[in-house]
Amino acid sequence: MTNIKGPAIFLAQFLGSEAPFNDLDSICKWAKDLGFKGVQIPTWDSHYFDLQKAAESKTYADEIKGKVNEAGLEITELSTHLQGQLVAVNPAYDHLFDGFAPKEVHNNPKERTKWAVQQLKYAAKASQNLGINAHATFSGSLLWHTVYPWPQRPAGLVDDGFTELANRWMPILNAFDEAGVDVCYEIHPGEDLHDGVSYERFLDKVNQHPRACLLYDPSHFLLQCLDYISYIDHYHERIKMFHVKDAEFNPTGKQGVYGGYENWVDRAGRFRSLGDGQVDFKQIFSKLATYGFDGWAVMEWECAIKHPESGAKEGAIFIKDHIIKVTEKAFDDFAATGIDKELNRKILGI
């Protein structure tokens, strides 16, 4: 067994125009002061982190790494959630997702996809330049609009959809393989990779690619009513990243999983700050430690009620208190009698 690293924090929800959230130096100092040891950096805002530059210039990557280290932190991973989403977009969502891409590719799905694929390839090289071995992203989706089908799905639609998704991702996965970095898909509603079955469909299509790994986030599974503990038993060998995010699901006689188009605060299922939801993190940390997960425990703050700075302050303590220092010996070693082959034979009756 190995120790989980942390606590760390995903910076995406905290970036802003006011200090200390308006530049990388300040936000890292803020995170360190709260007790975090690592930061997961989003890559879609070049004001904080220039992805292309980090891919093409080892000097720039070293400068960024130096800034973070100077604040007393480590870079845990980079994130291309928004760019990964754009690798595969069903036309029904074109207008909604154009906002994730630069204006020059708006209203041009083919060019937008090319841009997104290149962004992921930059992320592979940037991660390598930073000495990082895992990367966070979304899969994108061609099929999500058929997730609860009416009318009936045409025969072969799902297979065709996953074939196309795999064709788009294979060159990216190969680029990450060349860089020695795992692609960790956050299994998430709205993505074609949204549960274990859909992930396995994708694995089959990419020939069980060794870099097609997982970012484990139990909050999304709780809201799907999926067994997020046994999920670890199924996929622990592929879990290379961990988002520590809480959620609660309180169905009523009026709404359930789908939420009735309500906003987050009025939904039956909603994300909460760490410790305020229903996720059993004691079991999760124990299970991950048992399987030897040695990655980072990264807080992703999303809450419909609590202020983000309060959530961050409490989250650092929450993760620190849940990380298990794994044992190097068995608890009953005091009663060990050593190896005695003859005694063993007698006990076995042989």
Tell me how many degrees the CA angle 79-85-90 measures, rounded to the nearest 5.
Answer: 180
CA distances from 342 to 21, 333, 334, 335, 336 (A): 68, 20, 21, 19, 16
Residue 329 has a pLDDT of: 75
Percentage of the chain with pLDDT > 70? 98
Please, are residues 236 and 230 in contact by the beta-carbon 8 Å criterion?
no
pLDDT per residue as tens digits for the range 305-349: 999 999 999 999 999 999 998 877 766 665 676 788 888 888 899
Q: Domains along the chain?
A: 5-348 (3.20.20.150)
Q: What is the pLDDT of residues 88-103, one digit of tens each?
A: 999 999 999 999 999 9
Section 199-220 average pLDDT: 98
pLDDT tens-digit readout, 69-89? 999 999 999 999 999 999 999
* DSSP letter string, 278-332: ---HHHHHHHHHHTT--SEEEE----SSS-HHHHHHHHHHHHHHH-----SS-TT
pLDDT for position 331: 65
pLDDT digits (tens, 9 = 90+) for 4-34: 999 999 999 999 999 999 999 999 999 999 9
Mean residue pLDDT of the chain comes to: 96
Three-class DSSP category at 144: helix
pLDDT of 2 higher than 90: no
User: CA-CA distance, 185 to 59, in Å (whole number)?
Assistant: 28
Check residue 156 and give its pLDDT. Answer: 98
| Residue 336: per-residue pLDDT | 73
Task: Provide the CA 223 distance to its chain's centre, in angstroms.
Answer: 16
Residue 2 one-letter amino acid: T
State residue 338's pLDDT score.
79
pLDDT tens-place string over residues 165-190: 999 999 999 999 999 999 999 999 99
- Scanning the chain, the segments in alpha helix (DSSP H) are 24-34, 51-56, 58-70, 81-85, 94-97, 109-130, 157-179, 196-205, 218-222, 228-235, 281-290, 308-322, 341-348
pLDDT digits (tens, 9 = 90+) for 253-293: 999 999 999 999 999 999 999 999 999 999 999 999 999 99
Residues 6+ apart with CB under 8 A from 242: 4, 215, 216, 217, 288, 293, 295, 296, 297, 298
**CB 90 within 8 Å of CB 144:** yes
